């Protein structure tokens, strides 16, 4: 038998951690291949993590609501075959068929280890505080007692002790304190200059406490809401946001859609919304301006080969999720409509797969669906641009004709383009949004669907 480490998989680009929301299997349960073992949540998606092997769950390394980093081992599954074995010395199994030299070396190591007078074995599970397996292993190897471990002030989320915290503690513990002789202290005092005036130490900044009334309701921010908030704050701290706005005449698009939406639904069984039309225009503009379809890594610009459009989707609880349409430039309008409808429905039903919310290269958000005329969206990192679609409104407009101008009723909307000014200058940002507008205004009212 061997033991398999079930790790937290990569859940999407720029996602480094996830929250464990529930265990679907208990210790001792038999697990089949692809059986979901636990559920996790990120700021982008909630998902089940399946088993890559068949076996029995023998150990759970994290509790519900724990934050887990990508690549960390979450569960141990005992299998019948020879699969990746847990690299714990106490768990290692020595095959009798190994080379004699290897067995001899292992026997010597075991004998030497037995001869070492070790400190009393610490049971780190006895403490009520949570420590990751990595922190426990370091504490065990460095002889850090439970009392010492509990006394360390953690810098991780919710005050958890991180790898850096335990290593810094071990380093300080192993550094001998220097004894200062009396003569050295006198010499130091003689070298200190006399300060004529001592400034009062600045008081620490105290956040104002919000006064509460008896009628006020306290609503805790949801786990997903906290993750989204962090993602938004990090984006503003990372990118130099700047916006460009343009008004677009979409009268031809409105007329064309009204003409085809019933026949489209009868034929395809799908609703024909404005979104696939806008997505098609964005995909065409990204092909024309590929430097909008990039990401930034330090001092390097990563030019993306594929055009993968994220579409911000509102959920019933008020949060947002961004499913991704892969290779959007290769879809016709029918394919685009089907992909958008499918992703939107499954997003609202919490049925998206992890791969369906990652690898986006540009994002579109429809603020007009809530009646907003335009907005200033925050860039979805590590992308460099995001487009907000405003509400379509009938407005009186000046219409230019060869024989003169006149006032008419037109359907118009605003496009709002936020882009990263570190790598996208005003010319590129403005030309891109103007190209999207030109595609929409040049819509062929006789186009076949």
Task: Please list the active-site residues.
Answer: 421
d(CA 178, CA 201): 29
* Sign of the dihedral through C-alpha 244, 248, 253, 258: positive
d(CA 82, CA 407): 78
Q: Which residues of 232-270 are buried (b: 16+ CB within 10 A; e: fewer)?
A: beebeeebebbbbbbebbbbbbbebbeebeeebeeeeee
Q: Give the position of tokens 């006149």.
A: 406
d(CA 331, CA 446): 20
Other beta carbons less than 10 A from residue 206's beta carbon: 6
- Axis crossing angle, helix 426-441 with helix 275-288, rounded to the nearest 10: 130
Other beta carbons less than 10 A from residue 354's beta carbon: 20
Nearest 5°: the CA angle 295, 344, 417 is 40
* Sign of the dihedral through C-alpha 181, 186, 189, 190: negative
Other beta carbons less than 10 A from residue 368's beta carbon: 20
| Rg of the Cα atoms in the chain | 30
Strand 393-401 with 404-420, pairing = antiparallel
Q: Residue 227 to residues 20, 46, 207, 232, 377: CA-CA distances in angstroms?
A: 13, 12, 22, 9, 17
For residue 19 the two structure tokens come to: 């929250």
Q: Residue 173 to residues 122, 155, 156, 176, 284: CA-CA distances in angstroms?
A: 18, 18, 21, 8, 61
Length of the chain counted residue by residue: 449
* Sign of the dihedral through C-alpha 253, 319, 325, 334: negative
Q: What are the two backbone dihedrals, phi and then psi, of residue 354, each rounded to the nearest 5 degrees?
A: -55, -40
For residue 261 the two structure tokens come to: 């939406």
Q: What are the two backbone dihedrals, phi and then psi, of residue 251, each rounded to the nearest 5 degrees?
A: -60, -45
């Amino acid at each position: 038998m061997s033991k398999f480490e079930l790790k937290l998989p990569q859940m999407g680009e720029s996602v480094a951690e996830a929250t464990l929301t529930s265990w679907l299997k208990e210790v001792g349960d038999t697990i089949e291949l692809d059986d979901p073992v636990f559920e996790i949540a990120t700021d982008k998606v909630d998902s089940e993590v399946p088993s890559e092997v068949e076996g029995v769950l023998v150990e759970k390394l994290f509790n519900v609501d724990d934050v887990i980093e990508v690549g960390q081992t979450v569960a141990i599954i005992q299998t019948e075959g020879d699969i990746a074995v847990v690299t714990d010395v106490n768990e290692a199994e020595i095959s009798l068929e190994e080379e004699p030299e290897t067995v001899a070396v292992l026997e010597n190591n075991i004998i030497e280890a037995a001869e070492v007078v070790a400190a009393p074995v610490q049971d780190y599970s006895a403490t009520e505080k949570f420590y990751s397996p990595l922190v426990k292993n370091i504490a065990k190897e460095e002889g850090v007692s439970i009392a010492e471990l509990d006394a360390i002030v953690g810098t991780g989320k919710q005050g958890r002790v991180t790898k850096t915290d335990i290593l810094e503690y071990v380093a300080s513990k192993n550094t001998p304190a220097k004894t200062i002789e009396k003569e050295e202290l006198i010499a130091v005092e003689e070298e200190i200059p006399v300060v004529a005036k001592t400034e009062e130490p600045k008081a620490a900044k105290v956040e104002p406490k919000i006064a509460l009334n008896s009628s006020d309701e306290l609503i805790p921010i949801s786990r997903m809401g906290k993750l989204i908030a962090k993602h938004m704050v990090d984006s503003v701290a990372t990118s130099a946001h700047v916006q460009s706005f343009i008004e677009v005449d979409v009268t031809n698009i409105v007329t064309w859609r009204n003409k085809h939406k019933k026949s489209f639904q009868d034929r395809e069984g799908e609703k024909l919304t404005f979104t696939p039309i806008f997505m098609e225009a964005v995909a065409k503009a990204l092909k024309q301006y590929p430097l909008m379809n990039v990401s930034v890594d330090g001092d390097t610009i990563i030019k993306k080969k594929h055009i993968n459009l994220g579409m911000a989707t509102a959920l019933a609880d008020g949060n947002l999720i961004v499913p991704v349409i892969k290779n959007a430039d290769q879809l016709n309008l029918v394919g685009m409509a089907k992909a958008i409808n499918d992703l939107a429905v499954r997003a609202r039903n919490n049925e998206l797969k992890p791969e369906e919310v990652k690898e986006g290269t540009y994002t579109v958000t429809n603020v007009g669906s809530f009646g907003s005329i335009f907005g200033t969206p925050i860039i979805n990192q590590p992308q460099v641009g995001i487009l907000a679609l405003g509400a379509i409104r009938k407005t009186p407009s000046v219409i230019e004709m060869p024989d003169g101008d006149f006032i008419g009723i037109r359907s118009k909307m605003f496009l709002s383009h936020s882009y990263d000014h570190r790598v996208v200058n005003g010319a590129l940002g403005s030309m891109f949004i103007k190209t999207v507008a030109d595609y929409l205004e040049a819509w062929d009212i006789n186009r076949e669907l």
